[in-house]
Amino acid sequence: LAEYFAERARGGVGLMVTGGIAPNRAGWTAPFAGKLTTRREIARHRLITDAVHAEDGKICMQILHAGRYGYHPLIVAPSPIKSPISPFNPRKLSASGVEKQIRSFVRCASLAREAGYDGVELMGDLRRYQPAEVNAILSEHGLEVLSLTPEDVDLAHPDANLRAEALDYYLGLLDFAVAVGAPLVCCHGAVGRVRALAPYEEEYRHLLAGVQIIAGRAFDLNINLAMEVLNRYESHLLNT
């Protein structure tokens, strides 16, 4: 895995993000999946970060708590409702249980810094947060936002209304980036849609038209716009 990331750094990739790393066992995607919960695990992560830095690359670690979507019997969630893709019923978290999960995220981020990662990626819907709230948390912990990545909106969908909603979301994301001091916003195709609903060329034109509008607005706001290339099993547009 270290060589996999190092090879891409040698090829000129500016910033890479790992796959999901759990902050505790309850957050595993599956038994014995990647996690970072103790200092004993730092050495294994160092193999990756050292290899990337040796090639002058940068790498962030994605902290991912699978919640009810985990494929193991230790899963927890805000409710006991089972995920449609997991055979296991999650244990409902109490208020103190939620706080425990939050502390696991904090510890995982701290360990990621010791392991040599250049940053961490957190997942969440930014529409649920206010910039002032985010800025207060950043200030309290001495953190900065490197970039913002969008939710699964679809700039290439053949439905014009869905494309308009996606464009509005991106323009709002740019405003959010300004408010929290993020210098970079990522853009990508719809995650989870691996087949075209209309001719490929037509969907590509829709994506390009949307990105051009977003790029113009980003330029006006002095924000960098990056195209995120997804895996083939994640998206049918701009993939590996």
- pLDDT for the residue numbered 94: 95
Token pair listed for 152: 């699964």
Q: Count Cβ atoms within 10 A of the Cβ of residue 121 and give its class: 0-12 exposed, 13-18 middle, 19 or more buried.
A: middle
Nearest Cα to Cα of residue 63 among 115, 11, 141:
115
Residue 40 in this model has a pLDDT that exceeds 90:
yes
- pLDDT for the residue numbered 188: 86
What 3-state class would DSSP assign to 214? helix
C-alpha triplet 117, 228, 31: angle, nearest 5°: 55
Averaged pLDDT for residues 131-135: 87
- pLDDT for the residue numbered 128: 74
- pLDDT for the residue numbered 124: 67
Q: Which amino acid is at 96?
A: S
Largest CA distance in the chain: 51
Nearest Cα to Cα of residue 171 among 235, 230, 221, 237:
221
Q: Count Cβ atoms within 10 A of the Cβ of residue 25 and give its class: 0-12 exposed, 13-18 middle, 19 or more buried.
A: middle
Pairing outcome for strands 224-227 and 119-122: unpaired
Residue 128 CB contacts under 8 Å (≥ 6 apart), including other chains: none
- pLDDT for the residue numbered 173: 93
227 beta partners: 187
Residue 240 CA: distances (Å) to CA of 57, 86, 125, 154, 232: 19, 28, 25, 18, 6
**Contact call for residues 148 and 176 (beta carbons, < 8 A):** yes
Averaged pLDDT for residues 199-205: 93
Residue 186 in this model has a pLDDT that exceeds 80:
yes
Averaged pLDDT for residues 19-39: 94
Averaged pLDDT for residues 202-206: 94
Output 231 or 100, whichever has higher pLDDT. 100
- Predicted confidence band at 15 (pLDDT cuts at 50, 70, 90)? confident
Averaged pLDDT for residues 195-211: 93
Output 56 or 150, whichever has higher pLDDT. 56
CA–CA dist 218, 224 (Å, integer): 7
pLDDT single digits (tens) 110-127:
899 899 998 888 776 677
Residue 135 in this model has a pLDDT that exceeds 90:
no
CA–CA dist 145, 205 (Å, integer): 31
Q: Count Cβ atoms within 10 A of the Cβ of residue 218 and give its class: 0-12 exposed, 13-18 middle, 19 or more buried.
A: buried
Q: What's the mean per-residue pLDDT of the chain?
A: 90
CA–CA dist 151, 123 (Å, integer): 9
Residue 31 in this model has a pLDDT that exceeds 70:
yes
C-alpha triplet 28, 31, 33: angle, nearest 5°: 60
Residue 229 in this model has a pLDDT that exceeds 90:
no
Residue 153 in this model has a pLDDT that exceeds 80:
yes
Task: State if pTM tops 0.95.
Answer: no
Which range, of 49-58, 64-73, 190-199, 201-210, averages the lowest pLDDT?
190-199
C-alpha triplet 138, 95, 35: angle, nearest 5°: 60
Averaged pLDDT for residues 16-34: 93
